Amino acid sequence: MTDFIEPVAYDAVQRFDLRDRVALVTGGAHGLGLAIVTAFLGAGAKVGVLDLDGEALEARMPEMAARGKVVARAVDTRDDDAVRAAIDDIARELGGIDILVNDAATFPSAPLAETDSKTLTAALDVNVVGYLRTVTAALPYLRASGRGRIINFGSVTFFLGHPDGLGAYIATKGAVTGLTRALAREVGVDGITANILAPGAFPTRAEYGLYEDQAAFDRQVIEVQSVKRRGDVSDIASAALFLASDAASFITGQTLLVDGGWTFN
């Protein structure tokens, strides 16, 4: 019998390097998407950004461009043609696409009993169909990369079924979960992984608009989490860096809950 040589992993840290990668991030003008754009630039990736809010993108550009190579386009992810044109454009300018992050979302707020079909359909158009649009447009580039990564934003709310009044939004996040799991099966053969990044509660614009008494909400969140502090956008950016990197190349179809141990799946 030949001696078994125990494998080691001294070089595993190199798998976190994004210096030769191109990432595309939707919803990158604000909040968690903006945190991811800046983290990816910090990790050496070239970054394309799509967001509805052209003014915010323009205001951020000088600071981002000083940190690395970034191309931003004011695009509504509900627009098939605009999405496709912008993605082709960005891939041409940055030399392909290796990583796609779908962060853009809308947050309709009303009890389900008072939610009409138009409201849910409109939310699905951004939160689910919008993700499919970017995926189909980016897929040729992700396939060519041979190490493509798709990261779609889910939410802790899908696991909890609350807060009250976010039913339509929660339904869209359930659909993101199904979409991503099916995608993972379909694109694995091309060396592409597809995972769901599901945040707990993070202090972005979207959250601050929702609660009248922010201090009381902060206390409630800390109470239900296992980790006794509010989440920071860097917690999400770090998780996105991991899922985008070679370090996560054997992880697909999964939901990574970044919620301070609020829920366990």
Ligand X SMILES: NC(=O)c1ccc[n+]([C@@H]2O[C@H](COP(=O)([O-])OP(=O)(O)OC[C@H]3O[C@@H](n4cnc5c(N)ncnc54)[C@H](O)[C@@H]3O)[C@@H](O)[C@H]2O)c1
Q: Report the chain's C-alpha Rg in angstroms.
A: 19
Tell which one of 23, 31, 87, 183 touches ligand X (CB under 6 A).
31
Say if residues 197 and 154 touch (Cβ distance below 8 Å). yes
Nearer to ligand X, 20 or 80 (CB): 80
* Identified binder of ligand X from the candidate list 17, 76, 190, 246, rule CB under 6 A: 76
Q: Out of 87, 105, 150, 248, which residue is the one contacting ligand X (CB under 6 A)?
A: 105
CB of 252: closest distance to ligand X in angstroms? 20
Q: Looking at beta carbons only, is 145 or 237 nearer to ligand X?
A: 237
Among residues 33, 48, 148, 260, which is the contact residue for ligand X, using CB under 6 A? 33
Q: Give the contact letters, 183-202, x = binds to ligand X (CB under 6 A), - = no.
A: ----------------x-xx
* Residue (of 46, 150, 39) closest to 94 by Cα position: 46
What phi and psi, each to the nearest 5 degrees, are found at residue 49? -125, 130
- Binding ligand X by CB under 6 A: which of 69, 78, 84, 143? 78
Contact 35/234 with Cβ under 8 angstroms? yes
Q: How far is the CB of 83 from ligand X (least distance, A)?
A: 9
139 binds ligand X (CB under 6 A): no
Phi, psi of 105 (to 5 degrees): -155, 160
What distance separates the 2 farthest-apart alpha carbons in the chain? 71
**CA nearest neighbour of 151 among 114, 129, 121, 177:** 177
Residue 205 touching ligand X (CB under 6 A): yes
Is 169 a known active-site residue? yes
The smaller minimum CB distance to ligand X, of residues 107 and 145, is found at 107
Task: Give residue number: closest CB to ligand X.
Answer: 31
Residue 218 CA to residue 223 CA, distance in Å, equals 9
- 180 binds ligand X, rule: CB under 6 A: no
Q: Count CA within 13 A, CB hemisphere, residue 51.
A: 25
Catalytic residues: 169
